[in-house]
Structure 1
Amino acid sequence: MTGRLGIWALAVLGLVAGCADRERSTLADGRLTATPGGMDFQKVALYDARETEISLRNVGRAPVDVNEVWVEGPEGAYRAEFTSDVPHSLVPGSAASLKVRFAPTKEGGQPAMLVVRSDTRIEPLLRIPLTGSGVDAWARVSPRSLDFGRIEAESSKTLALSLENPTELAVEVTPRLVGADKDEFVAKSVVVEPGATVDLPIQFNPVKVGRKQVALAITPCRGCADVPVLVAAESLEQAVVAEPPVVDFAAVPVDREAFRESRIRNISTEPMTVNQLTLDGLDLSYSQANTGFPLVLQPGEVRGFQLRYSPGHMGPAEDMARYHVVSKRHPTTDVKLKGFGGAAELCVSPVTYDFGTQPLGSKTRVMVNVKNCGSSNAGALTLESLTWQPDPAGTAQFNNTPLAMPHTLQPGQEINIPVFYEPTRTGSASGVLVMTTNAYSAATVQMDFRGTALAHAPCELAITPMALDFGTVPPGRGAVLGVKLENKGRDLCPVKNIQLRDSDGGVFRMPGGDLFGVIIYPGDWFSFQVAVQMPVTGGTFAGTLQVEQMEPANPVVLVPLLANAQATCLIPSPWYVDWGVARRDCPPEPREVNYLNACTMPVSVSNVWIGPGTTDGEFSVSGVPTPLPFTLQPGEAFTVDLDYTAQVYGMNLSPLFVSSDDLAAPLLVPLIGESSKRTDKTDHFTQQDVSKVDVLFVVDNTASMVEEHPRLVSAIPSFVDAALAKQVDLHVAVTTTGIASVSNACPGGAQGGEAGRFFPTDNARPRILTQATPNLTTLLQQNVQVGQCAQVEQGFEAMRRALSPPLVNNADDPRTALPRDGNLGFLRDAAALVVVFVGDEDDHSPDAVDTYVAWAQQLKGQNQPQRATFYAIAPTAAACGTAGGTGTRYAEATARTGGEVMNVCAANYGPLLSAVANKAFSAQDRFPLSDSPEPGSVTVTVNGAPVTTGWRYDAPSNSVVFTNVPAPGAKVSITYRRSCDAG
């Protein structure tokens, strides 16, 4: 202990000692001795300390109480205390220990005195001399910063601080780490002997990835102030990384080879050893033959290695390249290898082309075929650019139809690029078209073109008609007319860029597309079509057709185009008349057009005529009601006869016009025919898909149907069961053969004059039934009970009215007082149309059978899968007493549409309607021809392949009948030499 006890404590001790003295014999006293009798601590470093023990022994004859110990000397340099806390009362011969500590606070000698107070009389204060010397001893620390750099986590790096002791005493140097990441560093205390220099190792053992937050404080001696040392360190997830981590060889043709470089980089600040490079061998298309391993990758160093891909199979290929690194955390640096066997390959044809000699001002074309001829899995071919090299001779004379770039072609896909030669100067010319692609080994392709131009006389071109007037076409409908170009001169005449200059917003178009160039020789001519498609909003439209000719005084001829879109009361049937291909020696049969007043007010017709066309006189009209003008009452109709002479070879088009008081311009029905020198003809068909069918029953409602109606009602379940068994998406409705009203005795609300409206017109029952209609059989049985009250059977006319405006496209017939008596919702564009006529007498409709057949085929698209097919239960040659005559018109119509007529005299219609259903809801086996063939001239192909068996020609129906029925969607072509029988 340093210093003395407090005054109060000393006073108490004094009192106690005084009492003891009075009680103790003066002859027996205790005596203390100290061992050793003095202590020299010698040299001790400042702020360090040295300790020793001193033993106090009672060598007297009486007990001794040691009351207090202290040191008299330099403040804070010495400290003395008993080694135990027990009472320090010593009996004779016993001893107690004192611990004395010297911790110099300054340099130099520091003498002191240890004082022990006891209750002995002889020497109550025992004094023991103490000596010691303080020495300033410490270690120098260098450097004052440590940078461990960047090393991989889970590795280790050690740096050292240098400790130098320039003093005469050994010192202990203590490091201390602080900060969030101090646990990832290791540092221990060291003792530096006098005059020695030692290293203090600091070890960095990173666990977590990232920059480290840590500080290091060094205590260079005991009690010395800390010396700060800056520490920088970062740990990495991986020291050796791949650049790039995935090597993609892309698409390479099978059995070719491609090389790609794989690079590795040492992103740490320590050398890294790479022992080898291996492949996993997942796909033997990959290989490598790199040498030089093992190697040491210096900090920041990058090295590249070649990898090879030679696909031995088509399709994707993957493998893994592994760099084996001396690393605990990442013993391999992995590189994924990707490739695709089968690359896009470019095929171009032609790469050189000579247009030959062409007239000045002409425009000739060659199609450059560009194809991705790689294997089926070879990936896309991208055409990146397509440009012409400048022509050093002047204005370029070659060009191509623009193609949006880039343009992608999948394997097997191709595109034809039109390249044109448009000579503007005489003599030879050349052009170079350059294409860039992503094709394997075909990044750039050069195509060379040549041509020579000759001069000629200016064109003498005649254009008919000089203006194309479409008159009136109802909104939403289209029409087509023609323009003829004829060379009236003595030299050839090149024309080009025949196209619409103004389509008035797309109302006008050219169905065959623009005509890039034609050379018309003296006396020759050709025709082309111009079409109009009226918007549903109606209106008046004007456009312009242009024709460029080699005539310097008039290089561009403009043909005005006019059209009026307006709702019409007159409904023509058909909307256009197409005679198809005809011959001079085989004039086509006459055709008819029927005009029905579909409005609720009378219409006055003032004229019917053939307007200007490509070749006037080829078409003629007759049978126009006289005198003109005449009035049609609501629901009334008239029919005109049309002839086509087919004397002028080529395509002939003319307008049939009808003027009426409700139209601003005459109503148009286009007339189309082609006169050909060819005698062969081919009818093309597509086998129908009958999964969706609209069925219309047209039932005779005359008084003679008393026997037949019950048979029909009884047979309906057979028809419905057949339809449901084939899972047909069905629409079915009924109308009558009655056109004019008779009396209120007729059921259904129309007085026997449905005139095409579905029965019952008063909506007493649902009129359009489907396969999902509850009680379908019962409702259809009720709907075919149309009564027996009408007088004239007009089955074809009733059908045409039922499926024509205003009935087919209105929920209510605007011409009648009955509500909701229109036929809207029955006819579907995607569905086949089957019409079943049931009557005990032949049809007495006003127009020819051909007219109705052509109308129906026009309605659904001639020779298309959804083609209209007619069936009839009608009188046949096997007559009976309940039938009137023979149904020749029904027989002709069914034969022309591929249907069939069955005998109305049968006692049970169940088998008849089952046969109708099975035939109507099955693929077509009978294909009617459009003309009569010469015997033995018929040939058949299905999907382009000749078929010599499994079919026969049936002369009575003028049809080809298959026993091996073509599959739905099959393309059937029937070629024959047309017979030229009169009539």
Structure 2
Amino acid sequence: MTGRWGWVALAVVGLLAGCADRERSALADGRLTATPGGVDFEKVAIFDAREAEISLRNVGRAPVDVNEVWVEGPEGAYRAEFTHEGPHSLQPGSACSLRVRFAPAAAGAQPAVLVVRSDTRIEPLLRLPLNGSGVDAWARVSPRRLDFGRIEADATKTLPLRLDNPTELPVEVTPKLVGADRDEFSVEAVTLAPGESRELNVTFHPVRVGRKQVALAVSPCRGCADVSVQVAAEALERAVVAEPEVLDFGAVPVDRDAVRESSIRNISTEPVTVTRLTLEGRDASFTQNNDVSFPFVLQPGEVRTFTFRYSPDHQGAAQDTALYHVESRRHPTTPVALRGYGGAPELCVSPSFHDFGTQPLGAKVRVIINVKNCGASNEGGLTINTLDWLPQQGGAPQFNHTPLALPVTLPPGGEVNLEVFYEPTELRAAEGSLVMTTNAFSAATVQMDFRGDTEAHAPCELVLTPQALDFGTIPPGQGAVLGLKLENRGTDLCPVKNIRLRDDGGGVFTLPGGDLYGGIMYPGDWFSFQVAFMAPVAGGHFTGTVQIEQMEPANPVMLVPLVANTQAVCLVASRRYMDWGVARPDCPAEPMEVNFLNACAAPVTVADVWIGPGTTDSEFGLSAVPDPIPFVLPPNEAFTVGVEYLGLVSGMNLSPLYVASSDLPAPLMVPLVGESSMRVERTDTFIQQDVSKVDVLLVVDNTASMAVEHPRLVDAIPTFVQTALDRGVSLNVAVTTTGIHPVTPPDPANACPGGAEGGEAGRFFPADNSLPRILTSATPNLAQQLQQNVQVGRCAEVEQGFEAMRRALSRPLVNSADDARTPLPDDGNAGFLREEAALVVLFVSDEDDHSPDAVDTYVDWAQQLKGQNQPQRATFYAIAPPAEGCATAGGAGTRYAEATARTGGEVVSVCAEDYRPLLQAVGDKAFSAQERFPLSDLPEPGTVTVTVNGTPSTSGWTYDAATNSVVFDVVPPAGTRIAINYRRSCEAM
């Protein structure tokens, strides 16, 4: 196919070199000649090109316009163009140049014709022959994959790439590196002469560690498609590695030897020369004496092993470093840390043999094996590595042990007790061996041997009470305990074992006393154990199972169902549990009370109150219940239930107190706990409190009779605050009133501010947030702020200080920012009570408390709030009527006096004209460590003894019968542990 390609002459202004634009003579004619008259390009490589220049001259007498040039021949092989821009008008004698390019796309001869079109009349088309031959000339590349292997970073490795030019023309070869790591390789372009073969060097010089992403694209000739050459390479951090990197000899007795081996491995694919092995010499206890000739070559993958010796010449830790010197730019040495300890641990095992004797079939008996590091204090730790039983011959294994998380290291003097059990399941003698491996230098392996025999007995006749445990409903985030009782009512002994939770309900059920491995119950024996439930915050219904294994083939495993419900509740119990402690059958325990408050904004129907099945159903009874039942409990109203504990059945007794209400699918449950014992000794334990943080609640009487007392209190507040600030106490301070129910209609003559109409019911004053309600040590002008907050008004009718305190520090107020039962916004008490702070409650009233429950109920509740074993962290103080009364007070403050005495606080007279000295005294005591420790029971005269931090103390304290407390002459420092032991008087029961 003939192609035409050329350019049309364009008009331009001006003159071009050799071409002129002048008027043409109408009488004469121009004539074109070409020099040369044709072109032979000869041989040209495919995709290469060659050019030639042709001159056109006007040899006629008139101007000639050269209009167009093109080539007729193989498509794409030739191209012609003017060397200057047009128009191309030639005056007689002038000339223009053409450039012709030959770029063959195929092999073989490729003739063509150059055609020049002009406006001459004689020869308007000038045709010139063109010849050329394409030659398939390109280099052959091999191999198609270069593998540099693994070399150390900062090293260099070169591989050859062979290039062959079998053609008769020169070839230009252009390599190009591609990929993320191409910068770590280098290669140059080359030109091969006809018939030449050459190696092209590709160099790998890594600086980064890791496998390389790179490839080589080689263009084997100019214009040729790339030839792909795969490249594999990896750079190593180091070529020679030590195995292990740390040679730890462990503990070795002084003047004894320990030998360890160290190896070096060449992980690269190149030989590495190792020149020598040295020690840094930091500790002469380490040596090496290897009969090896240096230097030597470590071949790829080769491993050489060397021996090191540790001979401690001193006690304690020893360290040094061995250095393998290698020819490497990056890491000329390969270090190995040498560690040892002079002085080895000593292993003591007792007993190493135990005979369990003859045991009932189905029993589980235990022996404690003491494993101790009995070495000197400078002889290092003893590590127990493994603990395994040797295979037992003839029947099923009869021995086992409690799992021990291994390895475990014991410091000098440290010990661990290992429980080993004998569980005979067959009527035969049995033997077993437990093998322990340690790092003890001379006792790396120790074998402990055991034996036992068995005998048959009658099947067990166990009675379980109750048959199931129903925790009812427990509020989210709270816990509860109930009990199970096992009694052997048979005439033969009964082995029981593996008392544990089979199903813990996802972790909500636990055994507080831990799993019971087993025991032998003789006829008439019984025991109780506790099961605990912790209510998840998310709520839900939960089930679980306790298992008890017994020797009863017809019923080998007793299963006890557990069920519990947790959700938000309306009824808030003032006690999470009722615990009578240790009681005596000859001294009846005092009844206890629990108060239930409706914390919801809607009424609740209380359907029933009863004591559910327990370990011994006759031990607990209801001494006071609302009448009648059922009844509707309005919002913010409460009722009290009295419970008595007889304490007639010895041992631990647990039962549930249930309250069924309309808002719950399962009744609210309060655990009842008591222990009956003929023991008359009692020990009260205290930990001296840290008074650096104190939460102070002021409960201020807001009845009409407080007209005289309120101004006195306001004047004294700065003294109280300054006492705390001077001692650096971190304070939280809030105020509530003694009013529970709002006055309806309000008394205009004695208005109560704060938005609650005198019925704060435990909400901090002012409930409408017209003033900040929770003040702290950081509050600006704290004294002035508190002075405003104690001005609570005088419109309430009944003083219920204890009840107001309990509601203020109970749910829902204590943990809610808003009380949902009231229309006032943000009137909750959240943020006041700190778990780590002591609690001080100061009651101010000109009349005694008229709360519905007994004083002990409120005192016990407050002490439980701060922890059962730290009752002194909740202390009551009162400015109240004295026993003899006065003109400005109503009656005597006997309930306040009793409560303050029970908590180690103090009551001062509300009749005083100036309260500043009173509050100074209260502050001095409230913000100081405790000197007075009240006892929980009344002791028999002369039986009180005191122990301080485990040491008996015979002086420096006295017993004060009036307040039933021990008073120290010098205040014990914070953290002091005080144990007060005494014989309980039956009068206290």
Which TM-score applies when normalising by structure 2?
0.69
Alignment pair present for 1:762 and 2:768: yes
Q: 1:354 to 1:923 in 2, by over 3 A?
A: farther
The structural deviation recorded for 1:393 is 2.7
Tell me, in whole angstroms, the C-alpha distance in 2 between the residues paired with 1:242 and 1:629: 83
Alignment pair present for 1:570 and 2:576: no
Tell me, in whole angstroms, the C-alpha distance in 2 between the residues paired with 1:906 and 1:850: 28
Identity of matched residues, %: 66
Alignment pair present for 1:875 and 2:881: yes
Unaligned runs of 5+ in 1: 1-240, 325-331
Secondary structure at the counterpart of residue 429 of structure 2: strand
Q: Within 5 Å, which residues of 2 pair with 1:884-895?
A: 884-895=890-901
Instruction: State the match for 1:195 in structure 2.
Output: none
- Please say which of residues 420-429 and 376-385 is displaced more in the overlay: 376-385
Asked if structure 2 preserves the Cα contact closer than 8 Å seen for 1:478 and 1:531, the reply is yes
Tell me, in whole angstroms, the C-alpha distance in 1 between the residues paired with 2:682 and 2:427: 44
The structural deviation recorded for 1:652 is 0.6
Instruction: State the match for 1:434 in structure 2.
Output: 435
Q: 1:900 to 1:258 in 2, by over 3 A?
A: farther
Question: What letter matches 1:309 in structure 2?
Answer: S
Secondary structure at the counterpart of residue 837 of structure 1: strand
Asked if structure 2 preserves the Cα contact closer than 8 Å seen for 1:699 and 1:839, the reply is yes
Secondary structure at the counterpart of residue 557 of structure 1: strand
Instruction: State the match for 1:309 in structure 2.
Output: 311
Q: 1:391 to 1:765 in 2, by over 3 A?
A: same
Instruction: State the match for 2:507 in structure 1.
Output: 506
Asked if structure 1 preserves the Cα contact closer than 8 Å seen for 2:370 and 2:416, the reply is yes
Cα distance per residue 1:325-358 (max 9 Å; x no partner) = xxxxxxx999986433454444433322222332
Instruction: State the match for 1:676 in structure 2.
Output: 677
Instruction: State the match for 1:351 in structure 2.
Output: 352
Instruction: State the match for 1:258 in structure 2.
Output: 257
Asked if structure 1 preserves the Cα contact closer than 8 Å seen for 2:863 and 2:872, the reply is no
Q: Within 5 Å, which residues of 2 pair with 1:535-550?
A: 535-550=536-551
Alignment pair present for 1:774 and 2:780: yes
Question: What letter matches 1:460 in structure 2?
Answer: E
Q: 1:894 to 1:400 in 2, by over 3 A?
A: same
Aligned-pair Cα RMSD in Å: 3.5
Q: Within 5 Å, which residues of 2 pair with 1:326-341?
A: 338-341=339-342
Asked if structure 1 preserves the Cα contact closer than 8 Å seen for 2:698 and 2:734, the reply is yes
Secondary structure at the counterpart of residue 721 of structure 1: helix
- Please say which of residues 622-631 and 554-563 is displaced more in the overlay: 622-631
Tell me, in whole angstroms, the C-alpha distance in 2 between the residues paired with 1:663 and 1:917: 45
Instruction: State the match for 1:807 in structure 2.
Output: 813
Question: What letter matches 1:853 in structure 2?
Answer: V
Instruction: State the match for 1:829 in structure 2.
Output: 835
Instruction: State the match for 2:407 in structure 1.
Output: 406
Question: What letter matches 1:383 in structure 2?
Answer: I
Cα distance per residue 1:242-270 (max 9 Å; x no partner) = 999999564436646334479999x9999
Tell me, in whole angstroms, the C-alpha distance in 2 between the residues paired with 1:271 and 1:415: 48
Tell me, in whole angstroms, the C-alpha distance in 1 between the residues paired with 2:701 and 2:875: 19
Question: What letter matches 2:938 in structure 1?
Answer: S
Q: Within 5 Å, which residues of 2 pair with 1:714-753?
A: 714-742=715-743, 743=746, 745-753=751-759
Question: What letter matches 1:431 in structure 2?
Answer: G
Tell me, in whole angstroms, the C-alpha distance in 1 between the residues paired with 2:385 and 2:783: 64
Tell me, in whole angstroms, the C-alpha distance in 2 between the residues paired with 1:828 and 1:272: 69
Tell me, in whole angstroms, the C-alpha distance in 2 between the residues paired with 1:287 and 1:399: 43
Tell me, in whole angstroms, the C-alpha distance in 2 between the residues paired with 1:837 and 1:687: 24
Question: What letter matches 2:977 in structure 1?
Answer: K
The structural deviation recorded for 1:623 is 2.1
The structural deviation recorded for 1:756 is 0.3
The structural deviation recorded for 1:563 is 1.7
Question: What letter matches 2:256 in structure 1?
Answer: E
Secondary structure at the counterpart of residue 979 of structure 2: strand
Which TM-score applies when normalising by structure 1?
0.69
Tell me, in whole angstroms, the C-alpha distance in 2 between the residues paired with 1:256 and 1:866: 59
Q: 1:290 to 1:682 in 2, by over 3 A?
A: same
Q: Within 5 Å, which residues of 2 pair with 1:784-863?
A: 784-863=790-869
Tell me, in whole angstroms, the C-alpha distance in 1 between the residues paired with 2:903 and 2:871: 12
The structural deviation recorded for 1:644 is 0.7
Question: What letter matches 1:658 in structure 2?
Answer: V
Tell me, in whole angstroms, the C-alpha distance in 1 between the residues paired with 2:586 and 2:409: 52
Question: What letter matches 2:580 in structure 1?
Answer: W
Cα distance per residue 1:151-179 (max 9 Å; x no partner) = xxxxxxxxxxxxxxxxxxxxxxxxxxxxx
Q: Within 5 Å, which residues of 2 pair with 1:372-411?
A: 372-374=373-375, 379-411=380-412
Tell me, in whole angstroms, the C-alpha distance in 2 between the residues paired with 1:337 and 1:475: 56
Give the count of matched residue pairs. Answer: 732
Asked if structure 1 preserves the Cα contact closer than 8 Å seen for 2:473 and 2:666, the reply is yes
Question: What letter matches 2:457 in structure 1?
Answer: H
Asked if structure 2 preserves the Cα contact closer than 8 Å seen for 1:698 and 1:835, the reply is yes
Alignment pair present for 1:933 and 2:939: yes
Asked if structure 1 preserves the Cα contact closer than 8 Å seen for 2:359 and 2:454, the reply is yes
The structural deviation recorded for 1:736 is 0.7
Tell me, in whole angstroms, the C-alpha distance in 2 between the residues paired with 1:279 and 1:639: 81
Cα distance per residue 1:843-871 (max 9 Å; x no partner) = 11110111111111222212238832212
Tell me, in whole angstroms, the C-alpha distance in 1 between the residues paired with 2:861 and 2:637: 18
Secondary structure at the counterpart of residue 665 of structure 2: coil
Asked if structure 2 preserves the Cα contact closer than 8 Å seen for 1:254 and 1:312, the reply is no
Cα distance per residue 1:369-421 (max 9 Å; x no partner) = 33444555655543222111121131111111222333344555443332211
Asked if structure 2 preserves the Cα contact closer than 8 Å seen for 1:472 and 1:666, the reply is yes
Q: Which has the larger radius of gyration?
A: 1
Question: 1:956 is matched with which residue: 956, 962, 977?
Answer: 962
Asked if structure 1 preserves the Cα contact closer than 8 Å seen for 2:686 and 2:872, the reply is no
Instruction: State the match for 2:177 in structure 1.
Output: none
Question: What letter matches 1:830 in structure 2?
Answer: E
Instruction: State the match for 1:590 in structure 2.
Output: 591
Q: Within 5 Å, which residues of 2 pair with 1:634-645?
A: 634-645=635-646
Question: What letter matches 2:314 in structure 1?
Answer: G
Cα distance per residue 1:627-663 (max 9 Å; x no partner) = 2222222222111221111000001111111222222
Q: Within 5 Å, which residues of 2 pair with 1:493-532?
A: 493-532=494-533
Tell me, in whole angstroms, the C-alpha distance in 1 between the residues paired with 2:351 and 2:926: 50
Instruction: State the match for 2:99 in structure 1.
Output: none
Cα distance per residue 1:539-588 (max 9 Å; x no partner) = 22222221111001111111111222232222122121100001111111
Tell me, in whole angstroms, the C-alpha distance in 2 between the residues paired with 1:505 and 1:368: 33
Question: What letter matches 1:965 in structure 2?
Answer: V
Secondary structure at the counterpart of residue 721 of structure 2: helix
Cα distance per residue 1:129-163 (max 9 Å; x no partner) = xxxxxxxxxxxxxxxxxxxxxxxxxxxxxxxxxxx
Asked if structure 2 preserves the Cα contact closer than 8 Å seen for 1:597 and 1:632, the reply is yes
Asked if structure 1 preserves the Cα contact closer than 8 Å seen for 2:312 and 2:341, the reply is no
Tell me, in whole angstroms, the C-alpha distance in 2 between the residues paired with 1:264 and 1:617: 77
Q: 1:920 to 1:374 in 2, by over 3 A?
A: farther
Q: 1:689 to 1:440 in 2, by over 3 A?
A: farther
Instruction: State the match for 1:133 in structure 2.
Output: none
Instruction: State the match for 2:464 in structure 1.
Output: 463
Instruction: State the match for 2:363 in structure 1.
Output: 362
Secondary structure at the counterpart of residue 930 of structure 2: coil
Secondary structure at the counterpart of residue 706 of structure 2: helix
Asked if structure 2 preserves the Cα contact closer than 8 Å seen for 1:500 and 1:509, the reply is yes
Asked if structure 2 preserves the Cα contact closer than 8 Å seen for 1:362 and 1:517, the reply is yes
Tell me, in whole angstroms, the C-alpha distance in 2 between the residues paired with 1:501 and 1:640: 35
Cα distance per residue 1:165-215 (max 9 Å; x no partner) = xxxxxxxxxxxxxxxxxxxxxxxxxxxxxxxxxxxxxxxxxxxxxxxxxxx
Unaligned runs of 5+ in 2: 1-239, 299-303, 326-332
The structural deviation recorded for 1:367 is 2.6
Alignment pair present for 1:614 and 2:615: yes
Q: 1:856 to 1:919 in 2, by over 3 A?
A: same
- Please say which of residues 401-410 and 250-259 is displaced more in the overlay: 250-259
Q: Within 5 Å, which residues of 2 pair with 1:693-732?
A: 693-732=694-733
Tell me, in whole angstroms, the C-alpha distance in 1 between the residues paired with 2:866 and 2:275: 80
Asked if structure 2 preserves the Cα contact closer than 8 Å seen for 1:245 and 1:336, the reply is no
Asked if structure 2 preserves the Cα contact closer than 8 Å seen for 1:344 and 1:381, the reply is yes
Question: What letter matches 1:708 in structure 2?
Answer: E
Secondary structure at the counterpart of residue 981 of structure 1: helix
Question: What letter matches 1:937 in structure 2?
Answer: T
